[in-house]
Structure 1
């Protein structure tokens, strides 16, 4: 997509090589394979790759999600053929150097152990294991299992994973900025010519609805705060008809704006927390989660959780008001358009649309869909999809 930005091109892309493709018995192979992409290629060792990027001022990076390998790049227009060629080289022919592999395993293990000291991380992982069954894309391995899988992984497993899953079958690429469509097509054809492979994204059954409330506790002695989380599987993918009205309702309850109910009442009026919100997430390719997250001092946990439950029940029983809906239509539309004002925001929005099964026109259609929502639509979605009396609560931190 060509924009008014001169001389600079931003790239965003994905291909189907995320965690859902991990082989049985090892939950770390997708992460490790992605982590080796910038550690050198069959043609260049990693310092040569870094030097090439530094000389041009370009950036190029990789990461993994539940379903996809994610990549991003930014460069001058004149350097786009070089950067696309380097992207193809890294995707197609990673070096898989044994010494770099050993370093990467230690780095990922250290990063994960640091995350294990974070109450939000521990609460989120406990929630995912509590509500999503084995085999669901949104379930995560237990921490010690993931660390053991990192330690036990072999280069042979990475090579086999790369051969099986890296390829153009599910690849999507978005370019935004000073773009020449014909020039990009030529560069892509040259860089990726003759590259076969890749596998379609799997279809997974939805997580079953919860049948009864329960509480999970993750005791982390010495922590000065407790992460509080309450939620359920949403039963929805982003493209499902009920998602947009429920997402609007959830934004009124707990988006990051200070006018959202949870922040306004529990933080501003009652002074029980510095941070609380609600979200509908992890639903691009599979049914996701509906969650309220808050952080409380241990001595305010009982009051904070009681206030949160009170507001959740009121939200479910009464729904939104007409004024709340009208105000948040303006707020969400404005924040969305501001995000589109940057090349990275526009590229991400375009890629999100493609991943969710829409065309590029969704970027313009989305504000119109927001504006068309009625109060009846939104309040009906709350009643249909949310079940406060059957949600899972997770507490992580200094809890008895």
Structure 2
């Protein structure tokens, strides 16, 4: 399960004042190992604002088979108080200066987010270190957290997107693959039976600087940030590298599955497969650009036909997913009124087969190269966006120069490479289709 951050992040993020800055990320970045922490600091032209992003290898994949909820429970305790202050003191310290700190889990990582003004960075960094290193592990707060997570899961079970995604990743990824989520029943049972002693042991085993990556972007001085990180994390030890494990292969799953949910006004459709590809590997960019032409935004084929021409869906698209740390998947995702579902699937199938058989045109390739590169550069135009791109690049085991070279790599793609990648890595006959919602045939 993926635990969302319990503290909100600023809704608005400052735009970088220098539009040309994004073209020289590697040159402007200062990367150091500070006490084992992989630290990257980038100074931008924006005044006062600082964004922090980080990860360490304490995600769902680290939860033991005996209790699959350990990663979520450990992450959930981080903002519930530390050895020196309770959660109310933490909230006040952050609230008084308009800063935020948040934690969440994904399949492979504990995710760290923070935002503050330049003057408050030492305080925020100190508090972040305190939360990571010395959670209070209050028994009272632990009991509340277990109820909170169980409630979140119960609410999620009412969402068609959540139910469809859960069924999809359980169908396409084999047991033991980190991207394969736990069944709801097993997860809730794990939450219920978990003990505070188990959570403390998990924290002691997997939290530490060995796998921690920290990116600080904004109005910062690299030397000052390095000094502060070295000070607040001094003496911290622990953590261990996470093995990659086997890639997802062919899974003997039912090719069409229905998750019936009563009284829903829409049905979520997810249709796709595991790709066996991790971001940064050969063919990934080619497949992504080809997918953008097929299913990205209002100009993609799916929206232009299934939605605009045929009028069968509220929205539909196609994209690659879950491939930063591990091999991921490719999927079509859309929402349909129950009475439009059959026609919607037929229309989507027609477009999928045409795209897979014939690929995209030279005009589509040229158009989507520009859009894809433009979207990437736009992601670098905020402190949060740049920090996120840098962190993903590190976690993809790519050099920071990859960010600067991204546009050239995309523009160098040929039509043969793109259409070849589509045929090589995707097979509509092996794809799994999930429908979740009020499906008449599923009653």
TM-score (norm 2): 0.88
1:136 & 1:232 partners in 2: Cα distance? 14
2:203 equivalent among 136, 148, 162: 162
Quote the offset at 1:223 in angstroms: 1.3
Residue 210 of structure 1 and its aligned partner are, at CA, apart by: 4.5
Q: Is the 8 A contact 1:280 1:289 kept in 2?
A: yes
1:5 partnered with 2:46? yes
| Aligned residues of 1:213 and 1:390 also touching (Cα < 8 A) | no
SS at match of 1:201: coil
Question: How far apart, in 2, do the equivalents of 1:210 and 1:253 lie?
Answer: 25
CA distance in 2, matches of 1:74, 1:227: 34
| Alignment correspondent of 2:3 | none
1:78 alignment partner in structure 2: 119
Q: Is 1:261 equivalent to 2:301 in the alignment?
A: yes
Q: CA deviation at 1:360?
A: 2.0
The question of whether the paired residues in 2 share the 8 Å contact of 1:39 and 1:100 is answered with yes
- Of 315-324 and 233-242, deviating more is 233-242
The Cα shift of 1:225 comes to 1.3
Q: Choose the corresponding residue for 2:67, options 20, 26, 30.
A: 26
Q: Is 2:391 the counterpart of 1:354?
A: no
**In structure 1, distance between residues paired with 2:252 and 2:423:** 16
- Aligned residues: CA RMSD: 1.1
1:246 matched residue in structure 2? 287
Is residue 274 of structure 2 the alignment partner of residue 233 of structure 1? yes
> 1:389 aligned to 2:429?
yes
Is 1:297 matched up with 2:337?
yes
Deviation at 1:56, TM superposition (A): 2.1
2:234 is equivalent to residue 197 of structure 1 = no
- What is the Cα deviation at residue 212 of structure 1? 7.8
Cα distance in 1 between the residues matched to 2:159 and 2:192? 22
Task: Name the residue aligned to 1:220.
Answer: 261
Give 2:355's match in structure 1, choosing from 300, 312, 315.
315
Match of 1:144 among 170, 174, 185: 185
Alignment counterpart, residue 274 of structure 1, candidates 309, 314, 327: 314
Matched with 1:127 is: 168
CA contact (8 A) 2:319 2:330 kept: yes
Matched, 1:40 2:62: no
Q: 1:203 to 1:5 in 2, by over 3 A?
A: same
Q: Tell me, in whole angstroms, the C-alpha distance in 1 between the residues paired with 2:239 and 2:208.
A: 4
Structure 1 spans left out of the alignment, 5+ residues: none
Task: Work out the CA distance in 2 between the residues paired with 1:152 and 1:319.
Answer: 51
TM-superposition CA deviations, 1:100-125 (whole Å, max 9, x none): 11111111111111110111111111
**Contact kept in structure 2, 1:267 and 1:275, CA below 8 Å:** yes
CA contact (8 A) 2:174 2:251 kept: no
